Amino acid sequence: MPNNDFVLGLKCRVCGKLYPKAANFFCPDDSAPLEVAYDYAKIAPHVSKTKFASRPRNMWRYRELLPLDGEPTVGPQVGGTPLVRADRLADALGVERLWIKNDAVNFPTLSFKDRVVSVALSKAREFGMRMVGCASTGNLANSVAALGASAGLETVILVPADLEKTKIYGTAVYGAKVVKVAGTYDQVNRLCTQIVMEYGWGFVNVNLRPFYAEGSKTVGFEIAEDLGWRLPQHVVCPMAGGALIGKVHKAFNELSQLGLVNGPVTTKMYGAQAAGCNPISDCVKSNRERHKPVRTPNTICKSLAIGDPADGYFAANLIRSTGGWAEDVSDAEIVECMQLLAKTEGIFAETAGGTTLAVARKLIESGRIPRDEEIVICVTGNGLKTQDAVFEALDEPATIKPNLAEFKALAGLEVAEPALA
């Protein structure tokens, strides 16, 4: 595959200096993060809508716009999740055209992290790395462990000790070495940077981060393709480290630049966080240039609980430059919206999904997102992983003896259907 000369190298996101395509992640001149840079003129003759559509429905159909040198060797089936027309939810919110990008059913670990990890680990193998890992708020841990196992890589995964049990055991089951760290995500992440410096292992969100982040673009490519190669007017994304929201927009820009969608990108991007850990939304709302780190995150939405997000500055800038906005919501609103999404669309999203929907609702109610324009809400993780968050809000089901009389005695189950003859 000629993909390698489509990639120019890794470019500093502040000074623009170009570095070789290697496990580099920051610019020594200004400590800013690096990003994969492509030669779009070279790519253009090799891509078309029909070529993409002729390939299997997974994220790799857009492989010319991903930074691998060869075929993907980790997670070849990842992506291709549904874009769901959400009319019942639209009615509940009082909007006209609403879509859910449902990565709660991404393969194999039920979150959008499988997209970023399959790129990062395929790249790790191209670099000849055998030992890989990550710092994680949960979903990344699941994904690195599962995809690492499927590729025969050794995995070491560091998580904050207070993470949901389901996410810790849902990582250990794959044979990963899981280490619980008594500290916040930011402390875990700092430790991972030291481990990378000491051992040279491939940590997907540290030294493989420029490659990892590119995987998020496929969410944007899929949204555009499923809309018939059109861009929506408004996209609401959850924000943890702040990479996803920027990469969805980068994807739209690439499609526009390559002539695969018409005209310049006018999509407004909106970021969602929990009130208990809102560094990026606070930065946008208070019109500050840089975010103020949140020292002690406190929310049920643990997957988004990054107090000092690596891409915080860039996410806030992007949101402003597109004319979008950011908001944050309480834990009660998160739980309420997990239920709203489940009841209206039959989609059980994790706490991050509840956060994103609750923020979308808040932005619609405040008039930031107009009711008569097209809106896409990104659901990024599965509710089965964070069931504890909703259990307390639900009624305990009634228990009866196995006879019809007791069943009939239950109130509220009179359904007006003709009895079977």
Q: How far is the CB of 202 from ligand PLP (least distance, A)?
A: 18
**Total residues in contact with ligand PLP, by rule CB under 6 A:** 16
Considering the complex, state which of residue 33 and residue 232 has its C-beta at the smaller distance from Zn ion: 33
Q: How far is the CB of 259 from ligand PLP (least distance, A)?
A: 28
The residue range among 30-38, 105-113, 148-156, 186-194 that interacts with Zn ion, by the rule CB under 5 A, is: 30-38
3-state SS of the chain is CHHHHHEEEEEECCCCCEECCCCCCECCCCCCEEEEEECHHHHHHHCCHHHHHHCCCCHHHHHHHCCCCCCCCCCCCCCCCCEEECHHHHHHHCCCEEEEEEHHHCCCCCECHHHHHHHHHHHHHHCCCCEEEEECCCHHHHHHHHHHHHCCCEEEEEEECCCCHHHHHHHHCCCCEEEEECCCHHHHHHHHHHHHHHHCCEECCCCCHHHHHHCCHHHHHHHHHHCCCCCCCEEEEECCCCHHHHHHHHHHHHHHHCCCCCCCCCCEEEEEEECCECHHHHHHHCCCCCCCCCCCCCCCCHHHCCCCCCCHHHHHHHHHHHCCEEEEECHHHHHHHHHHHHHHHCCCECHHHHHHHHHHHHHHHCCCCCCCCEEEEEECEEHHHHCHHHHCCCCCCCCCCCCHHHHHHCCCCCCCCCCCC
Q: Which of residues 114-153 bind ligand PLP (CB under 6 A)?
A: 139
Considering the complex, state which of residue 15 and residue 384 has its C-beta at the smaller distance from Zn ion: 15
29 makes contact with Zn ion (CB under 5 A) = yes
Q: Which of residues 227-246 bind ligand PLP (CB under 6 A)?
A: 238-244
Considering the complex, state which of residue 32 and residue 92 has its C-beta at the smaller distance from Zn ion: 32
Considering the complex, state which of residue 47 and residue 176 has its C-beta at the smaller distance from ligand PLP: 176
Among 27, 110, 157, 260, binds Zn ion (CB under 5 A): 27
Among 6, 7, 10, 12, binds Zn ion (CB under 5 A): 12
Considering the complex, state which of residue 240 and residue 335 has its C-beta at the smaller distance from ligand PLP: 240
Residue 244's binding partner out of ligand PLP, Zn ion, none, with CB under 5 to 8 Å set by partner kind? ligand PLP
Q: How far is the CB of 115 from ligand PLP (least distance, A)?
A: 10
Considering the complex, state which of residue 196 and residue 240 has its C-beta at the smaller distance from ligand PLP: 240
113 makes contact with ligand PLP (CB under 6 A) = yes
Residue 275's binding partner out of Zn ion, ligand PLP, none, with CB under 5 to 8 Å set by partner kind? none
Q: How far is the CB of 76 from ligand PLP (least distance, A)?
A: 21
Query: Applying CB under 5 A, which residues contact Zn ion?
Result: 12, 14-15, 27, 29-30, 32
Query: Applying CB under 6 A, which residues contact ligand PLP?
Result: 111, 113, 139, 238-244, 303-304, 350, 352, 380-381
